[in-house]
A and B are shown apart, each in its own frame.
Chain A
Amino acid sequence: MIDLVQNTIDGLMIGSSYGLLALGFTLIFGVMRRLNLSYGPSIMIGGYFGTVLYLQFGAGPLVVAVAVVVGAALAGLYVERLCFAPMKAGAAIASMVSSFAVWMQLEQAAILVLPRHTYAFPPLATGAPLEFGPFAVRIDHLVMLGCALGLAAAVQLLLYRTRFGLALRAIIGNPVAAHLVGVDVRTVMPLAFAGASAIGGVAGFLVLAVDQQVTPMFGMWATLKGLIAMMIGGLGSVPGAVLGGLLLGVIEVQSQWYFGPQIRDLAAYFVLFAVLALRPRGLVGSLSEASTQKA
């Protein structure tokens, strides 16, 4: 019983980083209706920014965190300019395939600049875990959970309580009409894209700080985890992203504990399959679902 609870706690903590990844992913999907496969690699580029500052100049965690977030946002903007801005409405496949090409490009660029497979990344909190009776929680995990819930709430507020959010939702519903009532789509889209990549950057920094290392493979890992969590939760839904992430984390930790590490990813994919088979839109209704109703 104690194991089950401790595993659930660990799963929620790890899952909160998946939730953060899914949050950025789902924003891009919600606004653009495009799958950005270069999402994870953009975050990996941010991670490399951070690790260079750390190794070359001995930067502290806060500076590194800012570097990762800014780096991810800039790389995200680069992806937007290259893969999404030039594609006319409807060219979803072209955008997705070119985002795959940029993924490969970013990964190779990272390997060229820092040829060793692994580089050290500064830890966030090295203190002993907090004890609650028989249960223990790592401090950096708690920060991760706090960031996930806080950022999700902030994004939800931005979307539903501000005019910027209203403009975004108008674009989601009908891009041409939004442009024609005066929404500056060409400014709002890249802003949203960079913001979503920055959220991914926050997730990236937290995960890398826990792992204390960065590799070029981090890009693929981040895209995969974000994608799975987003699909479980529901495309384009903010609460869905967080819920999907937390659920994915718990499933992974529990299955690893009870069935071993080989089963861990298998179990995650099985749950993804089951959710998609039973509820193709994911667990939570989404922004895009509402907007498929024609006005």
Chain B
Amino acid sequence: MLELPVLELKDVSKHFGGVRAVDGVDLGVARGEILALIGPNGSGKSTIVNLICGLFPLTAGRVVLDGVDISGMPMHARVTGGVARTFQNIRLFGQLTVWQNLWVAQNSGEQRRQNFGRRWFGGSRGARGEVERTLEFFDLAHKSNELAANLAFGEQRRLEFARALSAKPALLLLDEPAAGMNAEEIDQLDNRIRKVRDDGVTVLLIEHQMELVMSIADRIAVLNFGRKIAEGTPAEVQASPLVREAYLGTPEIA
């Protein structure tokens, strides 16, 4: 791989007291790929996402984004640096409208380019147009003025995805985006993730829904007890005896 990876985790560890939630993980995400991170419950997947976006400090190791070490950066600076995420348990701004939820996030995407006045008080016509287009893409345009708290569950999930995308990330972290979705919704999600990738966003996907993972992931990394036990194409990972062992007794893998 000649091109620099978008994201590199170098020997990353996170210990909570004596628990090694993440233990010496190396991981590279190449530009424009969809990398799925899978593993049994408690294997450290969500912790890794939290470490990348800066919710917790690292115990050891480094997180490198586009060649820049972001390990010590505050969360908002990482967003302006190009990392956005969704949450497994939805965290929208319930008392703001759907439109405003995106507008807040889009603000941060523009911080790099705009002066103080426009950043905090105005907003160009183009920026508003982008919010409209994002709403269309996620089939939320008709809900534009509803409070996020009043949306149905599926709509909240879409809004969470849309909000993350509004920050115009180079790298999008999706933390179990399919949780609680029916087959049709998962199908739409599949299409949207592909479309987002085709538009040039690199995706790191955490998901238990194996059909989705096997369908869209270019590569898969497998975690167990905080360590990476396998990495490769979906076919390679499915063939790995270590992975089969880690998942033994759980019905989730086909």
> Which A residues are within 8 Å of any B CB, using their own CB?
162-164, 166-167, 169-170, 172-174, 176-186, 287, 290-291, 293-295
Query: A167 and B74: CB pair below 8 A?
Result: no
Find chain A residues with CB under 8 A from B149 CB. Answer: 293-295
Find chain B residues with CB under 8 A from A293 CB. Answer: 94-95, 147, 149
Find chain A residues with CB under 8 A from B93 CB. Answer: 169-170, 173-174, 177-178, 295
Interface string of B201-236 (1 = CB under 8 A from A): 000000000000000000000000000000000000
Is B246 at the interface (CB under 8 A from chain A)? no
Find chain B residues with CB under 8 A from A173 CB. Answer: 93-96
A182-B108 contact, Cβ under 8 Å, with A293-B149, A294-B94, A295-B92 = yes
> Which B residues are within 8 Å of any A CB, using their own CB?
53, 55, 74-77, 79-80, 84-85, 87, 90-96, 100, 103-105, 107-109, 111, 119-123, 147-149, 156, 163-164, 166-167
16 contacts between A and B (CB under 8 A): A163-B107, A167-B120, A174-B91, A177-B91, A178-B104, A180-B53, A180-B55, A180-B85, A180-B91, A181-B104, A182-B79, A182-B105, A290-B94, A293-B95, A293-B147, A295-B93
Find chain A residues with CB under 8 A from B119 CB. Answer: 163
Tell me if A's interface is mostly helix, strand, loop or mixed: helix
Find chain B residues with CB under 8 A from A178 CB. Answer: 93, 104
Min CB gap B106→A, angstroms: 9
Min CB gap B187→A, angstroms: 25
Query: A184 and B91: CB pair below 8 A?
Result: no
How far is A287 from B91 in the complex, measured between Cα atoms in Å? Answer: 18
Query: B104 and A166: CB pair below 8 A?
Result: yes
Find chain B residues with CB under 8 A from A164 CB. Answer: 120-121
How far is A294 from B94 in the complex, measured between Cα atoms in Å? Answer: 6
Query: B94 and A163: CB pair below 8 A?
Result: no
